[in-house]
Amino acid sequence: MKAIRIGPLNFDPKGPPLLVAGPCVLEELDLAIRIALFMKEAAERTGFLYVFKASFDKANRTSLSSYRGPGFEEGLKMLARIKEVAGVPVLSDIHESWQAEAAAEVLDAIQIPAFLCRQTDLILAAARTKKAVNIKKGQFMAPWDMRYALEKAISVGNENLFLTERGVSFGYRNLVVDMRTFAIMARFGYPVIFDATHSVQLPGGGEGRSGGEREFVAPLARAAVAAGAHGVFMEVHENPERARCDGPNSLSLYQAARLLEDLARIYSLRDDFLSL
């Protein structure tokens, strides 16, 4: 299993687990910095490597009226400032190939959104930057088929890659998580993390916006870590009820911190039973 670099971090699947966390979309800069500082401290206290994540533009919102973020240029400026002030690596997603090169000047990791994980040109553009690339498994994808997304990135000389599981579509407006996914995708030789909050999303289930069932974030995250995930991805907010995107499936900062304590205990024990 490959160790990868995310900015200054050495993410080795045999070492400390990875936490990718932040608000779904960039809102106010001060809010984002407070979230980054809080989660950085919580991660350090529980033994996680931490990367701040927020989108500068959510191009796949349910409704035309949904908040998309500050946009490409302003969003990258905000992420650069968060990186500087909080002293953390930053990750965000791109939606078009032309964004990759400019985004790589700021980002430590570039994310391929789940809906776009089959978009060859997008993956190639992200991989050519030589930054870490997180490819999220689409809600419509079998885990076995993610090997081909990895092969696209590897074809241009980038092996600084990891995968994220975020559930699979199960009927209308619902997702389920197949816990076999972590073992299946780990066979490809790259780290696999679990998106605990998008996996409880109810796409389009909120009358023109996505709903969510945050009460299931913790049990699914615990199960995923026990099943072999090398880290977790969580959307967090100071006040999820007022978040401008994905509030119903986001955790409060204190909920996230408590969950990290649980996950750290599971990580400390799981080597004893994963070899069974």
Which pLDDT does position 97 carry in this prediction? 98
| Structural domain boundaries in the chain | 15-274
Enumerate residues 6+ apart whose C-beta is below 8 A from 197. 212, 214, 217, 233, 234, 235, 246, 249, 250, 251
Instruction: Write down the pTM of the prediction.
Output: 0.94
- DSSP state letters, 193-212: EEETTGGGEETT-SSSS-EE
**What Cα–Cα distance (Å) separates residue 155 from each residue in 127, 147, 186?**
9, 12, 19
| 191, 162 Cβ separation under 8 angstroms | yes
CATH topology for the 15-274 domain: TIM Barrel (3.20.20)
Three-class SS of 131-147? CEEEEECCCCCCHHHHH
Which pLDDT does position 271 carry in this prediction? 74
Is residue 5 classed exposed, middle or buried when 0-12, 13-18 and 19+ CB atoms within 10 A define those classes? middle
Among 89, 58, 90, 87, smallest CA distance to 243 is for: 58
Q: How many Å apart are CA 151 and CA 186, to the nearest integer?
A: 14
Which pLDDT does position 172 carry in this prediction? 85
Among 218, 233, 229, 232, smallest CA distance to 93 is for: 233
Which pLDDT does position 69 carry in this prediction? 80
Q: How many Å apart are CA 111 and CA 91, to the nearest integer?
A: 7
Please report, in tens digits, the pLDDT of each residue of the chain (276 residues total): 999 999 999 999 999 999 999 999 999 999 999 999 999 999 999 999 999 999 998 776 566 657 788 899 999 999 999 999 999 999 999 999 999 999 999 999 999 999 999 999 999 999 999 999 999 999 999 999 999 999 999 999 999 999 999 999 988 888 999 999 999 999 999 999 999 999 998 876 555 456 778 999 999 999 999 999 999 999 999 999 998 888 888 999 999 999 999 999 999 998 777 665
Radius of gyration of the chain, Cα coordinates, nearest whole angstrom: 17
